[in-house]
Amino acid sequence: MQSDNPTAAILVIGDEILSGRTREGNAHHLAQVLNATGFDLREIRVVADDHDQIVAAIRALDRSLGGAYDLLFTSGGIGPTHDDITADAVAAAHGTTVEINEEARALLQARCERMGTELTPNRLRMARVPVGARLLDNAVSAAPGFSIGNTHVMAGVPEVFRGMVDWLIPRLAGGRPVQSQTVEVRRGESEVADELGVLALEFPDLSLGSYPYHDERGWGTNLVVRGLDAGRVGAAMAELKKRLGL
């Protein structure tokens, strides 16, 4: 698909995904949001709670550090426990250090006062943010995410992650949202490959995908046309349906 939308990557930090304990869902949610708001998501990486691995991934993915993509979003590893090492790793990747952010401390302090609890040293750990970072707000918890360079650092708890995405994405300059149309056929992929191949040559500006599945009735395939121009997407889908006799 031809696009000059900003490119993006997602870095998920979490042993719980790699151990199979948790099925990743934050990247899936953000992928949908990015496509709808004009960002071209090119890569997702899941790495362990490992300082060196996180630093290397951030450097490889954030263009402001010489990496491959315009924007990098991370999920996970910002919290109060010993294994929450994302802030330190992000700081190291961006060549800075971590400090108690006074704005974040004030947010946490206000939250504790509302809840009638103490701002313990563990809670205060959530105000540890790289020097020079801007805070990300969220409606769910007082622990802030943050942005530094082109890296946007968000929580792993799904509800908090979504809150941060809702706050952050409208503040970033996206491009044109992706338009897509889908048609489902009860045929295997090899039965529709010729029609798709011809159409791909006719519509080089679009992305034509075929996603086969297998269920109790046998094989079926979802055919998806994607592109930035709704008229072109509609024209390609009409042509595809005609060729398939639908």
- Asked if 68 and 61 count as a contact pair (C-beta separation under 8 A), the reply is yes
Q: Does 97 bind a copy of itself (CB under 8 A)?
A: no
Q: Does 114 bind a copy of itself (CB under 8 A)?
A: no
Of 210, 232, 234, 241, the one binding a copy of itself by CB under 8 A? 210
27-56: contacts with a copy of itself (CB under 8 A)? 27-29, 31-35, 41-49, 53
Name, in order, each residue with C-beta under 8 angstroms of 126's C-beta and a sequence gap of 6 or more: 78, 79, 80, 104, 108, 142, 143, 144
Q: How far apart are CA 93 and CA 55, in angstroms?
A: 5
Of 95, 120, 205, 230, the one binding a copy of itself by CB under 8 A? 120
Q: How far apart are CA 156 and CA 129, in angstroms?
A: 16
Q: Does 87 bind a copy of itself (CB under 8 A)?
A: no
The token pair at 34 is 């990015």
Q: Does 16 bind a copy of itself (CB under 8 A)?
A: yes
Least Å from the CB of residue 176 to a copy of itself:
14
Of 97, 202, 213, 242, the one binding a copy of itself by CB under 8 A? 213
Range 90-111 burial, b when 16+ CB lie within 10 A, else e: bbbbbeeebbebeebbebbeeb
Name, in order, each residue with C-beta under 8 angstroms of 214's C-beta and a sequence gap of 6 or more: 220
**Interface with a copy of itself by CB under 8 A: which residues?**
15-25, 27-29, 31-35, 41-49, 53, 79-83, 120, 122-123, 125-126, 140-141, 157-160, 178, 180, 189-194, 196-197, 200, 207-214, 224, 226
